[in-house]
């Protein structure tokens, strides 16, 4: 099944998670130094590039279940996944949302990890803790995707008419 992920939707998800983190801290917290640059909508290019990179990484993590993928359209990231026959069609949207979440959390993890550079004033402990939280969310999303894709198909049972 072909999944088309909107890079704009992923960036909105990144902004939402960064904004929620900012709402939960005091105005003078070092977390603001980490996350405020992510919310800059005047210079979206670095974030768009990181979304493409994280999408490619997610596709490689799912490789046994991927039949095709494309990064050629910068606004729409495409991934063709081999879903089990028993996968309910009503959960396709939930799977797409988990893919978007995995990519968004990977971007946030990367952004916060970059802040560990020695030139920044943010304490390394704070950055490591925050990156760890984003990494855990990404890993949970990837784990749920993989478990959904590896669900064994319902066995074929031949019913004899006698």
Structure confidence by residue, pLDDT tens digits, 74-101: 889 999 999 988 888 889 999 999 999 9
Only one residue has tokens 């990890």, namely 113
The per-residue pLDDT for range 99-138, each reduced to its tens digit, is 999 999 999 999 888 776 654 556 677 777 888 889 999 9
- Give 66's strand partners: 81
Return the domain boundaries, the chain: 2-149
Q: How far is CA 36 from CA 72, 136, 141, in A?
A: 29, 21, 25
pTM of the predicted protein model: 0.83
Neighbouring C-beta atoms of residue 44, cutoff 10 Å = 13
Please work out, in degrees rounded to the nearest 5, the angle formed at the alpha carbon of residue 4 by the alpha carbons of 70 and 7: 85
């Amino acid at each position: 099944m072909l999944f088309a992920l909107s890079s704009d939707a992923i960036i909105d998800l990144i902004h939402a998670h960064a904004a929620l983190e900012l709402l939960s801290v005091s105005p003078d917290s070092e977390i603001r130094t980490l996350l405020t640059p992510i919310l800059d909508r005047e210079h979206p290019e670095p974030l768009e590039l990181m979304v493409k990179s994280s999408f490619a990484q997610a596709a490689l993590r799912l490789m046994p279940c991927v039949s095709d993928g494309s990064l050629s359209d910068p606004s729409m990231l495409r991934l063709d996944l081999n879903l089990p026959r028993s996968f309910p069609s009503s959960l396709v949207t939930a799977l797409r949302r988990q893919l978007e979440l995995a990519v968004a959390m990977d971007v946030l993890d990367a952004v916060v990890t970059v802040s560990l550079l020695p030139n920044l004033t943010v304490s390394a402990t704070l950055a490591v803790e925050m990156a760890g939280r984003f990494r855990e969310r990404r890993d949970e999303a990837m784990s749920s995707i993989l478990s959904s894709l590896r669900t064994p198909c319902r066995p074929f049972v031949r019913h004899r008419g006698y």
